[in-house]
Structure 1
Amino acid sequence: MQTLTDPPATLRKSLKLRHIVILGLGYMTPTTVFDTYGIVTDTTSGHVPAAYIVTLIAILFTAACYGHMVRAFPVAGSAYTYSRTAINPHVGFMVGWIALLDYIFLPMINVLLTRIYLEAAFPGVPGWIWIVVMAGLLTVVNLWSNNVVANLNTFLVFFQILVVSIFSVLVIQRLTADPADSAAFTLTPFFSPDMSMGALLGGAAILCFSFLGFDAVTTYAEETPDPRKTIPRAIYLVAAMGGLIFITAGYLASLLFPDVSQFSDPESASPEMAFILGGSLFQSIFLAGALSSTIASGIASHMSASRLLFAMGRENVLPKKWFGYVSPRFQTPMINVLLIGAFSLTALALDLATAIQFINFGALTAFTAVNLSVIGYYYIQQKQRGLAGTLKYVVVPLVGTSFIAFLWSNLEMPSLILGFVWSGLGLIYLLVNTRMFSRKPPVMDYYEEAI
């Protein structure tokens, strides 16, 4: 067990660009396009792909800010590390604490979704069994080396892409079966005279959370040999590839299912869509794709959460003896992995709606902090204030922050209440840890060692 006098613990540098992109896509879950299709179709009046384009453009501004910051600080802490250094150590702690809502609750949500899917398929099996099995599976996989995690996720992500591809082929076959239907390939889902920008932004507020994953790859910065080059590339690739999948599948689905009134439950339209397209066989394949998405996202989010805890533990912001520990055998933050696995068992008591409220608050806090960190670090501290510097390090983050502000305004009250309660607990911990702000949270100069 490491002590406070030991040199900073480090993680194995074995992840390549392809591994990180796959982990990001696994976190993002390509099949989520079907989970949100019904509600976004209703919100945007059938302009789902247009809403995805708006979301992708807006997200890319924040993605650019993550890219800037990871070049300066290629370590595992992500938004926590950036805001701590670029803004203030106390602010950094609070950002890291609040971001834990996103990182810690997502593995639990995937455990909960697995129970929901499998309860529907096997109604005779008690739901708690699926929760325990899934939480155990994610924990065991993440205890192994990061390469094992990445390779398993590769299979799961490619299976999801296969399911999306089969869906696309079936839609095209249905639309081209009758020559008279050739006009079905219309650009109406992208643009129509009666399209409302307010409705598109409302859809974008929902779809923004489909892109969670591009930011999570920054937590793997210490596990790749050249993080300053690899991680920014991975950020853009994950966002772009995810966006392409979402836009394409959303467009084809809009052509065949422009009106969600035909579904018995528009908020859970994906099983009915699968049955209409390919009967029971494709519906079964679709369920398998949904399960692979929860496993892939669960693995990737479990891994990201353990790395964020590790970054905070290594600095002794959280107790270093436990949170900063790295397994000598697997070179993974073993105790953090076990803690995330144990926390995932809260799926036995929490419902999906409550858990999602936590994630939304945590994700938007991290996005806001990273955008502002770019201004604080590059423009204020590094004084890069020429025309190019102003555009890159002021205009871009402010545009990103503006979109995030819009998303903040769309959060529901339960999300705000839960988020502020969690923030209050973090503030109390910070006050005790720093003796009422009389000293800074512990900081370690390990950036060079981590590269």
Structure 2
Amino acid sequence: MEGENKHRSLSLWQVVVIGVAYMAPATVFDTFGIISRVTNGQVPLAYLLALVAMLLTAVSYARFSRLSAREGSAYTYTTETCGKTMGFFVGWCSLLDYMLLPLINALLAGFYLNSIFPDVSYTAWVLIMVGLVTLINSFRINILANFSFVFVAATLVMMLVFIYLVVTGIGNSQGYSQVMTLKPMFNGNPELNTLVAGISLVCFSYLGFDAVSTLANETKNPTKTIPKAIIWTTLVGGAIFITVSWFVTLQFPTLAQFQNPDEALPEIALIVGGAAFQTQLLTVQIMNAFASGLATHASASRLIHIMGRDGIFSKRVFGSVNTKLGTPLYSIFFVGLISLLAIYVDLAMVVSFVSFGALIAFTMVNFSVFMKFFVIRKERTGFKNLFMNLFLPLASVFSLLGLWINLEKNALEFGGIWLCVGIVLVLYKKIKKQPISLGSPVEEVSNS
């Protein structure tokens, strides 16, 4: 199906909406207590500095996506510049967080729905959630974009209501001068090591721009649309995270008011807006989990499809596209089966693993920019080329390595096990003499 345009239906705004939905912006409420504890109260600053680091990486993604109409992701970009084996390992590590994110959304939706409707079991809600997400993803991608728009819009409206309640509550009780302050950005006790640990933790929130790069084959004029969508997704997502965490920190400068800081959402909503607002916010969280579930499921299935088409997985099964729907049905069904593991796993355990693959992918894309433009294409003359092709990508690599080494120990251990499984798979293919290669040549276009 590559090279055909009849299924290219996504516009710029639709791709951005899918990317923002992938980020699940309302999770800023769920993770506030965890990030606040890790950073000693510097949640908005952690999101801001993570945005700076992620924008550098988003620029690298955007530069690659201008060169090819082929679906992107760190897997494709690394393969094209650093070789098949290195590309496989990056794709393999990325696959870890790609498959875990739909599972996390199914788990959260099941938990929230069960808390509202306890007569229906958690297992039943997970089955319903996974079934609906898989069904919607089976149809054309523009249907997913329309669903994502509705749910993202509802989430943003509820966030605005939350901000209004915080501003009026503090303004009426303490005076509006207490609202117009920079205190949330410099809250807590600043320590470099805790702040870096917090940045590492929130990086998974920005995975939406990586997901956007996998949608090139279903996007109109991808070499122009995808680069813009990558940057806009990063900026919009970052603005949401920073703004909401700012007002949560304004209301809760410490965690002293929370009985359970690691699951702060219900208490945040209850204290700010009462029981009615708590119910409304919980409802929106279900919608947020559903929207993110749709987007993460779509991106995970596309990555599996790309790797199947390239012969890493079964080309006949995962590399195929349904001719009527224009979607990789077998890959979509496979992600649905993986998501059903939400019935058995623990949320804290799964969340800790997500950033491992993300940071490896981000690091390798920046390194691939250096390899592509500075080493292979030898674009080295002039300040602009030196800055864009040498200094900027390598600075991004070293900044991400600093975040990577600050990941939690269990995430590094599980990621190491996952990497070892990938090594076994490569050795098996070499023994069987099954090549790991790109499915088709890359179509290069003008970088302008």
TM bucket by the smaller chain?
A: over 0.9
Query: Quick check: 1:347 aligned with 2:338?
Result: no
Q: Which aligned pairs between 1:47-446 and structure 2 lie closer than 5 A?
A: 47-178=42-173, 180-191=175-186, 195-386=190-381, 387-435=383-431, 440-446=435-441
Query: Between the two proteins, what is the percent identity of the paired residues?
Result: 38
Any conservation in 1 of the 2:2–2:70 contact (CA below 8 Å)?
Answer: no
Return the alpha-carbon distance in structure 2 between the equivalents of residues 294 and 103 of structure 1: 15
* Paired residue secondary structure (1:190): helix
Distance 2:86 2:2 in 1: 25
- Cα pair 1:10 1:450 within 8 Å, conserved: no
Q: CA deviation at 1:314?
A: 1.5
Q: 1:127 to 1:82 in 2, by over 3 A?
A: same
Distance in 2 (alpha carbons) for counterparts of 1:412 and 1:18: 36
CA distances 1:151-199 after superposition (whole Å, capped 9, x unpaired): 0010000011111111011111112214745234321222379633333
Whichever residue aligns with residue 35 of structure 2, its letter is V
2:299 maps to a residue whose letter is S
**Hey, what's the Cα distance between the residues in 2 that align with 1:229 and 1:411?**
35
**Which whole-Å CA distance do the structure 2 matches of 1:412 and 1:49 have between them?**
21
Task: Work out the CA distance in 2 between the residues paired with 1:248 and 1:196.
Answer: 22
Q: Deviations over 1:224-250 (max 9, x none)?
A: 121121111111111111111111111
Deviates more, 1:6-15 or 1:128-137: 6-15
Kept in 2, the 8 Å contact 1:19–1:151? The answer is yes
Distance in 2, Cα, partners of 1:313 & 1:327: 14
Distance change (3 Å), C-alpha of 1:191 and 1:174: same
In the superposition, relative to structure 1, how do residues 358 and 260 fare at CA in structure 2: closer, same or farther (>3 Å)? Answer: closer
**TM-score, normalised via structure 1 length:** 0.93
Q: Deviations over 1:360-410 (max 9, x none)?
A: 222122111111111111111111112212211222122221222122112
1:356 Cα offset (Å)? 2.1
Contact 1:25 1:242 in 2 (8 A): yes
C-alpha distance in 1 between matches for 2:170 and 2:302: 46
- In structure 2, relative to structure 1, the CA distance for the partners of 1:115 and 1:379 (3 Å cut) is same
CA distance, structure 2, for counterparts of residue 193 and residue 96 of structure 1:
38
Secondary structure of the residue aligned to 1:319 is: coil
- Separation (CA, whole Å) in 2 of partners of 1:343 and 1:198: 35
The 1:30/1:11 distance shift into structure 2, 3 A limit, reads farther
TM-score (norm 2): 0.94
Query: What is the CA–CA distance in structure 2 between the aligned matches of 1:11 and 1:114, rounded to whole Å?
Result: 34
Question: C-alpha deviations, 1:297-350, integer Å up to 9, x for none?
Answer: 110011001111111122222211111111111101111111111111111222
Q: Distance in 1 between matches of 2:342 and 2:186?
A: 41
Q: What SS class does the counterpart of residue 447 from structure 1 fall into?
A: coil
Provide closer, same or farther for how the CA distance between residues 405 and 11 of structure 1 changes in structure 2, counting only shifts above 3 A. Answer: farther
CA–CA distance in 2 between the matches of 1:359 and 1:194?
27
Pick which of 163-172 and 222-231 moved more: 222-231
RMSD over aligned CA atoms reads 2.2
Aligned AA (1:394): L
Aligned amino acid, residue 325 of structure 1? S
- Equivalent-residue separation in structure 2 for 1:233 and 1:449 (angstroms): 18
Deviation at 1:20, TM superposition (A): 0.5
Amino acid at match of 2:154: F
User: For 1:225 and 1:335, how far apart are their aligned partners in 2?
Assistant: 24
Q: 1:8–1:446: 8 Å Cα contact kept in structure 2? A: no
The structure-2 alpha-carbon separation of the partners of 1:179 and 1:121, relative to structure 1 and needing over 3 Å to count, comes to closer
Letter in 2 for 1:315: D
SS in 2 for 1:321: coil
Structure 1 pair 236/357, CA: closer, same or farther in 2 (3 Å)?
Answer: same
The alignment of Structure 1 onto Structure 2 pairs a total of residues equal to 445
Structure 2, unaligned runs of 5 or more: none
In structure 1, stretches of 5+ residues that fail to align are 1-5
Structure 1, residues 116-164: CA drift from partner, whole Å, max 9, x if none? 2122222332211011111101100000100000000100000111111
Q: 1:411 to 1:198 in 2, by over 3 A?
A: closer
